[in-house]
């Protein structure tokens, strides 16, 4: 918080020396040192900042990265403005922050923030508390005895056991309460600004200390309170959150609103772009969880997996992300990786019911995959029995989870269901004289499992607040044990009243019943359950054909769908264009090359096209070709239409403007505007590069293996300065970074022809001039060498 006055204790000891004097470590007991007299002219902040690059010091103004990245969040606790210490020494804390602390934290890889940088409305005090409680690291400047600074430091020490760095300038002592806390000294001039003679080493020291603090053991304790009170437990970060901090959470709330719309409209690119752009790691962690869930609900398990792994980079201890990583690995058929992830999870948390249940599900799916594709019922049942070792393993794992928590009915119902199936198959195929000991064990235990489930579920189902999974578990229990179908129907209908027609819930329950139906187990009861759920799905507005489509796996859907073509290419050359890349008279040749490239992939109406613009030149050509072939195109525009036409279409001439409007109005073309759909770019982000990312991410809807970037590009043009050429190069680098396929159409041959034609023309003109020059008597004409 901003302080108007600074309290000065009467018994304060004089501060240590400033410029040119090595400040002793807090452990030492230095003698007071005479301060030098103030300089005639104060050293301005601008002077210090200007000197920093010459000293090899980063100023925080770094080049833009290919993609935004989340960095650990550092909250800076310090006074604001110019303040005096107890001995009258001046400190310019704004200059200290901007020229010392800010570059040091950025060099250490942090995203720094100070309370006075909050530009949005809200309760500043509440937002400040959220920063103190939730920031990954707090850096506290203890140079003067400032009440607000010590109050904020006390809050951090009381609620968080780690992630605190203390610095100070000039102090020869530290207050008694924190005298034993390591505090890093830095140097200032008599004018209170960072000393140019020491600024490089001071920045390096602060940067190194923050890195070391952040990289220390996750169990390391930096708070003297937690060091003293060994039994004190740090609260969960979620328990420290408050919705009253409207400014702190505004970024997340705005993100969630946009992503909800994108999810409903199935715009994957919007979700990926908006989630990538969140800067605050605390908010990003929450957003990644929501984005992963949204992508999973859209059937994009591979994209959800990427999100959850990014979430683990932000917080490696997020248990939900570890669960989701394993879940999506299994969904993608990477079973061994999934099992290893779950087993490692269970080493850390042996009683984690969700992890145990997930492992049971993996083995269950290994078993079902061995027989569900077989059409002949007899062979299907025999194959299910022959691989029942996976079935028994899955049942045992679910049973273990149920024993850990008898109030968690999901693993219990699955254990009972799989045990019932195992006995059903054994009665058909097992050796009656020499039965499998595992089957015998199941026969002995199944009644006990049923009894525990029946008592618990029936009691909990009577609660008016019973949730869907409790009620559907009771319905599944009825399918396995009921004596009349009406009790099954009633149980399912009661569960459906709290399902809120959530298709994920309904499909999950339907999948369980269809597994039993495929095996012919308790057909009459299973079929009424299936019929009841399908009726509810129909009432939700999804007909049976749509439902069949929804239930198909993402891999089958991708196999039957077409490709996705992303395009980038140069604008047509026009007067005043800085770099010539697309000769106007070569339009037909370039058009043919684009067409040939697309036809080499057998372009057809099942394919989809994506392009980050509709500029005069190759982008309009590409879209024209696509619509001629009946392919739908999505065009992503970085600017409102009028501004875009003025900058990217009009320079090519009126003919290109007419073509822009004609192709934009085509029924197969959908144009999306950046500000309208994903909002304004973040400060420092280039809207045109952002548009490239948006178009690329949007093309991933059918899977990375289905995407091809077609690029009209001169490969010799490395890191061009011209905007048009730069954006083409940027898209190519993005695609390379993503790991996608690139098909190039080079323009270098056209440019070489033009250069050769110009040279030939000049040579011919010169030769013509020589030939026309009158020769002196007796002079011979000589052929000029090239």
Condensed to tens digits (0 to 9), the pLDDT of residues 485-501 reads: 999 999 999 999 888 77
Which residues 6+ apart lie within 8 Å of 454 measured at CB? 477, 481
Q: Calculate mean pLDDT across residues 329-336.
A: 92
The residue with greater pLDDT, 42 or 450, is 450
Could you give the 3-state DSSP secondary structure of residue 73? strand
**In what order do the strands lie in the sheet containing 564-569?**
669-673, 632-637, 608-611, 564-569, 707-712, 741-745
Give per-residue pLDDT as tens, 139-165.
999 999 888 898 999 999 999 988 899
Least confident range from 16-30, 414-428, 437-451, 536-550: namely: 16-30
Assigned token pair, 96: 């200290």
Share of the chain above pLDDT 90, in %: 49
Q: Residues 610, 633: contact at Cβ < 8 Å? A: yes
Residue closest to 520 by CA, chosen among 368, 377, 376? 377
- Angle of helix 268-277 relative to helix 687-698, nearest 10 degrees, comes to 130
254-283 pLDDT, tens digit each: 888 998 898 888 899 999 999 988 877 778
Q: For 73-108, what is each residue's pLDDT tens digit?
A: 899 999 999 999 888 889 999 999 999 999 999 999
Give the pLDDT confidence score for residue 174 in this predicted structure: 60
Separation between Cα atoms, residue 743 and residue 762, nearest integer Å: 36
Contact 314, 285 (CB under 8 A): yes
Task: Measure the CA–CA gap between 44 and 38, rounded to whole angstroms.
Answer: 14
Q: What average pLDDT does range 215-219 have in this prediction?
A: 74
Confidence of residue 9 (pLDDT cuts 50, 70, 90): very low
Picking from 776, 770, 256, the residue whose alpha carbon sits closest to that of residue 785 is 770
- For the cut 50, the answer to whether the pLDDT of residue 19 exceeds it is no
Q: What angle do CA 774, 779, 785 make, to 5 degrees?
A: 85
Judge whether residue 214 has pLDDT over 70.
Answer: yes
Output the DSSP codes for 581-629.
-S-GGGHHHHHHHHHHHHHTTT--TT-EEEES---TBHHHHHHHHHHHT
Helices (H), 20-142: 45-51, 93-96, 102-107, 124-134
Over residues 512-558, the pLDDT tens digits come to 999 999 999 999 999 999 999 999 888 876 555 444 444 444 444 44
Strands 669-673 and 137-141: unpaired
| pTM more than 0.85 | no
What confidence tens digit (pLDDT) does each residue in 293-318 have?
Answer: 888 887 888 899 999 998 898 788 88
Kindly list the distances between the CA atom of residue 191 and the CA atoms of 295, 536, 785, in Å, as whole numbers in the listed order.
Answer: 55, 75, 71
Give CA–CA dist 156/225, Å, rounded: 10
Higher pLDDT, 325 or 41: 325
pLDDT reported for residue 179: 54
- 532-553 in b/e form (b: 16+ CB < 10 A) is bbbebbeeeebeeeebeeeeee
pLDDT at 649 over 80: yes
pLDDT in the model for residue 173: 63
* Statement: residue 343 has pLDDT above 90: yes
Three-state DSSP at 637 gives strand
Distance between CA 644 and CA 635 in Å, rounded?
12
Q: Please spell the DSSP secondary structure of 271-302, one letter per residue.
A: HHHHHHH---HHHHHHHHHHHHHHHHHTT-HH
Is residue 751's pLDDT more than 70? Answer: no
Give yes or no for a contact between 624 and 615, defined as CB atoms under 8 angstroms apart.
no
Mean pLDDT over all residues of the chain?
82
| pLDDT score, position 53 | 43
Residue 223 is predicted with a pLDDT of 86
Which pair of structure tokens corresponds to residue 428?
């058909």
Measured distance CA(233)–CA(764) in Å, rounded = 88
Q: Which residue has the tokens 């001071």?
A: 202
pLDDT digits (tens, 9 = 90+) for 107-126: 999 988 887 765 455 567 78
- Mean predicted confidence (pLDDT) in 285-290: 87
Going by C-alpha positions, the residue among 682, 691, 685, 679 that lies closest to residue 727 is 691
Residue 424: pLDDT above 90?
yes
* Distance from C-alpha of 227 to C-alpha of 743, rounded to nearest angstrom: 60
Of the chain, the percentage scoring pLDDT greater than 70 comes to 81
When mean pLDDT is compared across 6-15, 179-188, 639-648, the lowest value belongs to 6-15
Element of type H or E holding 641: helix 641-644
> Which stretch of 14-23, 408-417, 725-734 has the lowest confidence by average pLDDT?
14-23
DSSP per position, 643-701: HHIIIIIGGG-HHHHHHHHHHHTSTTEEEEEHHHHH-SPPTT--HHHHHHHHHHHHGGG
Band of residue 422 on the pLDDT scale cut at 50, 70, 90 = very high
Count the Cβ atoms, other than its own, within 10 Å of residue 330. 23
Both tokens assigned to 534: 């399908």
Q: How far is CA 104 from CA 11, 156, 207, in A?
A: 33, 21, 5
**How many Å from the N-terminal Cα to the C-terminal Cα in the chain?**
75
Looking at 147-214, which runs of residues are DSSP E strands?
A: 164-169, 183-186
Question: Over 50: is that where the pLDDT of 62 sits?
Answer: no
CA 582 to chain centre: 36
Closest CA to 362 of 322, 385, 391, 384: 391
């Amino acid at each position: 918080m901003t302080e108007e006055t600074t309290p000065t204790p009467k018994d304060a000891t004089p501060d240590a020396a400033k410029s040119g004097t090595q400040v002793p470590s807090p452990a030492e007991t230095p003698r007071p040192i005479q301060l030098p007299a103030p300089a005639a002219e104060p050293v301005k902040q601008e002077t210090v900042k200007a000197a920093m690059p010459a000293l090899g010091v980063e100023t925080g103004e770094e080049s833009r990265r290919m993609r935004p990245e989340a960095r650990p969040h550092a909250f800076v606790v310090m006074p604001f403005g110019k303040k005096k210490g107890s001995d009258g020494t001046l400190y310019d804390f704004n200059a200290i922050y901007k020229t010392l602390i800010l570059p040091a934290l950025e060099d250490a890889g942090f995203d720094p923030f100070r309370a006075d940088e909050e530009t949005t409305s809200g309760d500043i005090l509440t937002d400040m508390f959220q920063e103190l409680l939730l920031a990954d690291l707090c850096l506290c400047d203890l140079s003067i005895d400032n009440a607000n600074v010590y109050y904020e430091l006390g809050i951090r020490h009381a609620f968080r056991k780690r992630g605190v760095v203390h610095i100070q300038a000039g102090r020869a002592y530290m207050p008694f309460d924190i005298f034993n806390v390591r505090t890093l000294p830095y140097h200032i001039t008599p004018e209170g600004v960072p000393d140019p003679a020491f600024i490089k080493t001071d920045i390096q020291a602060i940067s190194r200390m923050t890195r070391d603090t952040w990289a220390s053991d996750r169990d390391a304790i930096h708070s003297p309170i937690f060091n003293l009170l060994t039994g004190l437990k740090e609260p969960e970060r979620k328990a420290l959150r408050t919705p009253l901090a409207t400014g702190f959470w505004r970024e997340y709330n705005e993100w969630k609103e946009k992503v909800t719309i994108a999810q409903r409209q199935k715009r994957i690119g919007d979700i990926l772009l908006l989630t990538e752009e969140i800067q605050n790691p605390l908010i990003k962690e929450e957003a990644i969880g929501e984005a992963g869930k949204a992508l999973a609900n859209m059937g994009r398990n591979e994209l959800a997996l990427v999100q959850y792994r990014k979430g683990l980079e932000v917080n490696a201890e997020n248990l939900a992300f570890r669960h989701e990583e394993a879940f999506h690995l299994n969904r993608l058929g990477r079973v061994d990786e999934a099992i290893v992830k779950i087993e490692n999870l269970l080493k850390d948390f042996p009683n984690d019911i969700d992890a145990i249940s997930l492992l049971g599900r993996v083995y269950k799916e290994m078993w079902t995959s061995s027989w569900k594709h077989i059409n002949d019922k007899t062979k299907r049942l025999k194959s299910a029995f022959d691989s029942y070792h996976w079935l028994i393993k899955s049942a045992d794992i679910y049973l273990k989870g149920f024993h850990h928590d008898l109030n968690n009915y999901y693993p219990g119902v699955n254990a009972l269901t799989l045990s019932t199936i195992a006995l059903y198959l054994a009665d058909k195929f097992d050796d009656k004289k020499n039965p499998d000991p595992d089957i015998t064990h199941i026969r002995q235990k199944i009644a006990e499992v049923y009894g525990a489930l029946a008592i618990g579920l029936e009691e909990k189902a009577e609660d008016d607040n019973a949730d869907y999974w409790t009620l559907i578990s009771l319905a599944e229990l009825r399918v396995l044990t009921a004596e009349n179908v009406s009790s099954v129907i009633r149980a399912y209908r009661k569960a459906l009243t709290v399902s809120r027609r959530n298709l994920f819930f309904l499909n999950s329950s339907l999948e369980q019943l269809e597994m039993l139906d495929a095996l012919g187990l308790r057909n009459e009861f299973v079929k009424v359950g299936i019929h009841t759920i399908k009726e509810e799905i129909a009432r939700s507005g999804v007909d049976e054909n749509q439902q069949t489509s929804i239930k198909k796996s993402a891999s089958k859907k991708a196999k039957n769908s077409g490709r996705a073509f992303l395009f980038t290419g140069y604008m047509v050359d026009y007067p005043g264009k800085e770099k010539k890349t697309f000769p106007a008279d070569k339009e037909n040749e370039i058009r043919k090359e684009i067409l040939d490239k697309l036809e080499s992939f057998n372009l057809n109406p099942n394919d989809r096209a994506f392009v980050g613009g509709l500029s005069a030149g190759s982008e309009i050509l590409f879209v024209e070709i696509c619509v001629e072939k009946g392919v739908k195109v999505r065009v992503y525009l970085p600017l409102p239409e009028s501004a875009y036409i003025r900058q990217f279409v009009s320079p090519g001439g009126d003919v290109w403007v007419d073509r822009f409007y004609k192709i934009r109005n085509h029924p197969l073309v959908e144009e999306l505007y950046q500000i309208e759909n994903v909002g304004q770019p973040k400060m420092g982000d280039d809207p045109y590069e952002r548009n490239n990312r948006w178009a690329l991410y949007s093309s991933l809807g059918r899977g990375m293996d289905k995407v091809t970037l077609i690029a009209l590009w001169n490969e010799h043009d490395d890191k061009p300065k011209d905007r048009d050429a730069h954006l083409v190069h940027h898209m190519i680098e993005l695609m390379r970074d993503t790991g996608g396929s690139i098909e190039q159409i080079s323009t270098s041959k056209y440019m070489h022809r033009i250069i050769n034609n110009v040279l030939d023309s000049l040579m011919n003109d010169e030769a013509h001039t020589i030939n026309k020059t009158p020769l002196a008597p007796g002079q011979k004409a000589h052929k000029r060498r090239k």
